[in-house]
Amino acid sequence: MPKTLLEILDTIKDGGRPDYDELRFALLVVEGLSILDSQALRRLGTEKQSGFVNNPHAQSKESFRRWKAALGKPPKDFLGQENDPDSAEYKARRRVHIALAKKLGLIEG
- On average, the pLDDT of the chain sits at 92
> Residue length, the chain?
109
User: pTM here?
Assistant: 0.84
Report the C-alpha gap between 108 and 104 in whole angstroms.
10
> b/e per residue, 64-89, with b = 16+ CB within 10 A?
eebbeebbebbbbebbeeebeeeeee
Q: Please tell me the predicted confidence (pLDDT) of residue 35.
A: 96
Report the C-alpha gap between 35 and 37 in whole angstroms.
5
Q: Is the pLDDT of residue 41 over 90?
A: no
| Res. 74 pLDDT band, cuts 50 70 90 | very high
Q: Please tell me the predicted confidence (pLDDT) of residue 48.
A: 66
Q: Please tell me the predicted confidence (pLDDT) of residue 44.
A: 81
